[in-house]
DNA sequence: ACCTGAACACCGTTCAAGT
DNA sequence: ACCTGAACACCGTTCAAGT
């Protein structure tokens, strides 16, 4: 119990700093995440953060591992295909909740424990299903590349629901000068179709994912060779 | 001919500003690209740039379209599969030359002419080969997602050649405390294999690309339905 | 009418001075 | 020994003052 008028504020910890960092990036984007703004939201002087994180890079490391911790690891008992499918969907979902993380997930110099765990589980699931070394790396690489790239497109494109996307496409179509329409007829054709029927990210993502998994399935003869 | 001692410097233009922006980002990364540094390299006061580009976002728009202009458009006469394959390889090559562009290619609010041309050519090639509307969008989306995501991984991972990657993996392996090795056995196994044989980005990229193209080929029955 | 230096409102991080 | 305000070296961009 403190006697003074100001409420006793709970002490800072690395976890609280990282949590607040994730919340700030979620709401304001990566550009809105500054040490100074973060400190203000936590009710402390900027300098105080540096006792709990070494610097901004260290903060980002922690934030990225929070995202990895939200990803559902592959469950080998479902069989490799369904396990890969669900974990890819779960990764995309995490990236939709935290779009700022898309460019940061890979390539951390100091991968966190959740990151290591996820990749180990991925390798373990595929190796356990009989995939060879190289094939395991190929499959992981292709699936993750697809999810990252899709998340990048999704994050970056302006519309959410199919309806919104249809309206956006329709507006764009109206605003297109006829001279441009002539130069890019196929683009216009597709834009018109999207304006009519909307663009469903969910279906788009799953179609590509299943297409890749089909491709992986066809690697079977090479399993042992991997 | 100017009479004073300082050499007559060629006048600034939007093109020169954008060119210098690409060069600066290529050599120093996106973080190193500041209006002030760019101005200094061009031998002008920062303010002078604002007569040729509206602001930094406008500069980035121009830079991104430069990258699109370097991508070889699909050549329908090769057949859709080979055309898609080459254009995907060309896109990845452009992104290797300009890694800073990976997160920026999509989602420009004001797509430049080269961007529009590329997407129109992509759609045109697939529609011309008999793919339906939706299928065309699916194929474009899946291929681009894969290339973006792969470029993201590649940009972000620390090693270049297979040999370098082998050495890096070997060093990492040595530095791994046995306690971590126990917790992540599959990761260790794969790291050991990479340390032995190296990691070949080129082969990795092409394997995934062909896997996706195989998947697309299997969509044939649905062509008309698209 | 044009050009630009100074200024504004920010950054991440250091460091010395104060308790 | 601990804490933190002021400072440093940056940002992108505005704007008024000078020519």
Among the listed ranges A39-48, A167-176, A207-216, B69-78, which one has the minimum average pLDDT value? A167-176
For every one of its 226 residues, what pLDDT tens digit does chain B have, with 9 covering 90 and above?
A: 333 334 445 678 999 999 999 999 999 999 999 999 999 999 999 999 999 999 999 999 999 999 999 999 999 999 999 999 999 999 999 999 999 999 899 878 889 999 999 999 999 999 999 999 899 999 999 999 999 999 999 887 766 677 877 787 787 777 777 887 889 999 998 888 888 888 889 999 999 999 999 999 988 655 544 4
**Is residue A35 within 8 Å of A86, Cβ to Cβ?**
no
> Given this model, what pLDDT does residue A170 score?
79
From the list B85, B185, B142, the residue with the least C-alpha distance to A142 is B142
Please tell me the CATH superfamily of domain A14-53, with its number: Homeodomain-like (1.10.10.60)
**What is the C-alpha separation between A120 and A103, in angstroms, rounded?**
21
pLDDT tens digits along A163-175: 877 777 777 777 7
Residues of A in contact with B117 (CB under 8 A): 183-184
Give the count of alpha carbons within 13 A of A87, CB side only: 25
Count Cβ atoms within 10 A of the Cβ of residue B94 and give its class: 0-12 exposed, 13-18 middle, 19 or more buried.
buried
pLDDT tens digits along A15-24: 999 999 999 9
> Given this model, what pLDDT does residue B107 score?
76
CA distance A76 to chain B (A): 14
> Given this model, what pLDDT does residue B163 score?
81
**What is the C-alpha separation between A119 and B186, in angstroms, rounded?**
9
Residue ranges of A 181-200 with Cβ closer than 8 A to chain B:
183-187, 189-190, 193-194, 199
CA distance B108 to chain A (A): 8
> Given this model, what pLDDT does residue A185 score?
93
pLDDT tens digits along A112-139: 999 999 999 999 999 999 999 899 999 9
Contact A152 B127 (CB under 8 A): no
> Given this model, what pLDDT does residue A15 score?
94
Q: What is the arithmetic mean of pLDDT over A154-181? A: 76
**What is the C-alpha separation between B68 and B211, in angstroms, rounded?**
25
Strand D contact at CB of residue B44, distance < 7 A: no
Residue ranges of B 164-183 with Cβ closer than 8 A to chain A:
180, 183
pLDDT of A218 strictly over 90: no
CA distance A131 to chain B (A): 12
A198: left (phi over 0), alpha (psi -120 to 50) or beta: left
Domain range annotation of chain A: 14-53
Strand D contact at CB of residue B18, distance < 7 A: no
pLDDT of A105 strictly over 60: yes
**Is residue A45 within 8 Å of A39, Cβ to Cβ?**
yes
Share of chain A above pLDDT 70, in %: 91
**Is residue A136 within 8 Å of A120, Cβ to Cβ?**
no
> Given this model, what pLDDT does residue B220 score?
67
**DSSP alpha helices (H): ranges in chain A?**
14-28, 35-41, 56-70, 80-97, 113-128, 133-156, 162-175, 178-183, 185-197, 201-217
Residue ranges of B 107-146 with Cβ closer than 8 A to chain A:
107, 109, 116-117, 119-121, 123-124, 127, 133-134, 136-138, 141-142, 144-146
The answer, for B149 touching chain A at a CB cutoff of 8 Å, is yes
> Given this model, what pLDDT does residue B9 score?
58
How far is Cα of residue B83 from the mean position of the Cα atoms in its chain? 18
> Given this model, what pLDDT does residue A222 score?
55
pLDDT of A12 strictly over 80: yes
Residues of B in contact with A186 (CB under 8 A): 120-121, 123-124, 127
Model-level pTM?
Answer: 0.92
Strand C contact at CB of residue A50, distance < 7 A: yes
> Given this model, what pLDDT does residue B174 score?
77
**What is the C-alpha separation between A44 and A133, in angstroms, rounded?**
49
Residues of B in contact with A31 (CB under 8 A): none
> Given this model, what pLDDT does residue A220 score?
67
């Amino acid at each position: 119990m403190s006697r003074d008028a100001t409420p006793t504020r709970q002490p800072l910890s690395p976890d609280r700093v990282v949590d607040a960092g994730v919340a700030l990036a979620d709401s304001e984007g990566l550009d809105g995440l500054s040490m100074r703004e973060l400190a203000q939201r936590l009710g402390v002087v900027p300098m105080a953060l540096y006792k709990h994180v070494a610097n901004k890079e260290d903060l980002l490391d922690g934030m990225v591992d929070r995202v990895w911790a939200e990803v559902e690891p592959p469950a080998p008992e479902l069989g490799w295909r369904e396990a890969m499918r669900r974990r890819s969907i779960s990764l995309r979902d995490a990236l939709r909740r935290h779009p700022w993380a898309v460019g940061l997930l890979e390539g951390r110099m100091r991968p966190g424990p959740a990151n290591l765990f996820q990749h180990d589980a991925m390798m373990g699931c595929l190796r356990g299903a009989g995939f060879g070394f190289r094939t395991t790396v190929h499959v992981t690489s292709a699936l993750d590349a697809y999810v990252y790239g899709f998340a990048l497109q999704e994050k970056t494109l302006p519309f959410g629901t199919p309806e919104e996307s249809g309206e956006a496409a329709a507006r764009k179509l109206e605003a297109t000068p006829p001279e441009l329409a002539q130069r890019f007829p196929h683009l216009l054709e597709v834009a018109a179709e999207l304006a009519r029927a909307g663009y469903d990210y969910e279906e788009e993502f799953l179609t590509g994912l299943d297409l890749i998994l089909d491709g992986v399935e066809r690697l079977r003869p090479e399993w042992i060779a991997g």
